[in-house]
Structure 1
Amino acid sequence: MTSSPLFFILLCVCIKICSADHQNLQDFCPTATTTKQTIFVNGFPCKDPSNITASDFKSSKMNGSGDTDNFLRSAVTIVTAADFPGLNTLGLSVARTDLEVDGMVVLHSHPRATETLFVYKGVVLAGFLDTQNQLFQTKIREGDVFVFPRGLPHFCVNVGFEVATLYSVLNSQNPGEVSISGAYLEPDKDMLHKLVNNYI
């Protein structure tokens, strides 16, 4: 009988160790830019510390607006550790979304990240579906923030009268994207509008 409490304590310690988040072993680890990857790890190999400079922690990839001349009237520019060396091992990605009037980002999810959406300019209808198929949606305006929980399908539509600009932060250096509407629909604008209107 004395082994039962000992086993329980050992089990609790093991569960705690296994469930702990992995912490960085150094302050930072900018991605090493090599022509061909020869070592495959969960993430990217680190740059030689003696060659790290301030430019490794700067990106200008979101300076300009994206090309919205498409049937969705939207452009999403996502910057991950693959594009921005300073993000490696920090568990972050950033994105910029530009939406023309009536432009939309159709239903999709990020299997490895929660997304926080900030409205820089415009008025947007943003929403997500939970695992019970309940819809949570609201209009967000300049200065507002909305969060899309990890793995849940979400969308946004420009419902204002000007171009909308949004910025996002995702809590993974490789959030992934699953396009839900693309799995069911041909790229037909009318069908996509009907899909989104069903959720509005």
Structure 2
Amino acid sequence: MAASITLFLISIFMLLLSLLLLPIPCHSADPDPLQDFCIADLRGALSLNGFPCKPTSKVTSDDFVYSGLMNEGNTSNYLGSFLNVANIFAFPGLNTLGVSMTRIDIAVGGVTNPHWHARATECGVLIRGKALLGIITSRNVVYARNISVGEMYVVPRGLLHYHLNVGEEPVLAFSAANSQLPGTIYIAQNLFGSTPSVPDQVLAKAFQLDQSVVDQIKSKFVG
């Protein structure tokens, strides 16, 4: 009888211990701010909660405003698109706030480079034009839909996605992410233009390509 009670108590203890060790739910991509604001001092080292704070005595109203998203991006590149990212490096006022924005310009027929955000969910709205939004899940299922002016879209954190201009005028969209530094990963650049480079054997086998084709692709991402 005593052995049964002891075993029962041990089981209860282990259950409580396992509950205590469960990960605490996180409701945002970045840690919560610890003060009213913390304008980033980019000369300091980036830590878990952002950059060190600029002295309050040196903070001005301009630190809370960013004008970098006003102008149309240069889409005269091989993709026909330009992403103007307002993260903590571009807009120090975002420091510790867990949010950033991007202006998306896509020329007619252009596409955004397929990518995902390692640390954030993306939420956007189309301002001009017509675009095909494609989202690819971890099970290789593609959810693609044309979006029109005024429509809002969401891309869950970590999912591969792209935008294709399917209209007859340039596309303009604005998106927000719940991280001051979303961690954008572009497939092509990361695999074929990384430093040091990914071994050719890995790329050749993964994409089932000849060595000459791997070399050709890599040459397009040099510099």
1:159 counterpart = 2:166? yes
- Structure 1 unaligned segments of length 5 or more: list them: 189-200
2:110 to 81, 103, 112: 103
User: For the aligned residues, what is the CA RMSD?
Assistant: 2.3
Aligned mates of 2:77, 2:155 — CA distance in 1:
25
TM-score by length of 1: 0.83
Aligned mates of 1:84, 1:78 — CA distance in 2:
9
Question: Are the aligned partners of 2:32 and 2:98 in contact in 1 as well (CA < 8 Å)?
Answer: no
The structure where strand makes up a greater share of residues is 1
Aligned twin of 2:83: 76
Question: Are the aligned partners of 1:117 and 1:146 in contact in 2 as well (CA < 8 Å)?
Answer: yes
Question: Are the aligned partners of 1:114 and 1:150 in contact in 2 as well (CA < 8 Å)?
Answer: yes
Aligned mates of 1:51, 1:11 — CA distance in 2:
48
Distance 1:138 1:20, change over 3 A: closer
Distance 1:115 1:5, change over 3 A: same
Q: Percent identity?
A: 35
Aligned twin of 2:147: 140
1:124 counterpart = 2:115? no
Aligned twin of 1:60: 67
Instruction: Kindly provide the CA deviation profile for residues 84-106 of structure 1, in whole angstroms up to 9, marking residues without a partner as x.
Output: 12111111110001111001102
The 4+ residue runs of structure 1 with deviation greater than 6 A are none
Distance 1:20 1:5, change over 3 A: farther
Count of aligned residue pairs for this structure pair:
185
1:41 counterpart = 2:47? yes
Aligned mates of 1:72, 1:181 — CA distance in 2:
12
Q: Which of 105-114 and 49-58 deviates more?
A: 49-58
1:32 to 38, 41, 50: 41
Instruction: Kindly provide the CA deviation profile for residues 61-105 of structure 1, in whole angstroms up to 9, marking residues without a partner as x.
Output: 101001111111111100111121211111111000111100110
Give the superposition deviation at 1:144. Answer: 0.6
Aligned twin of 1:198: none
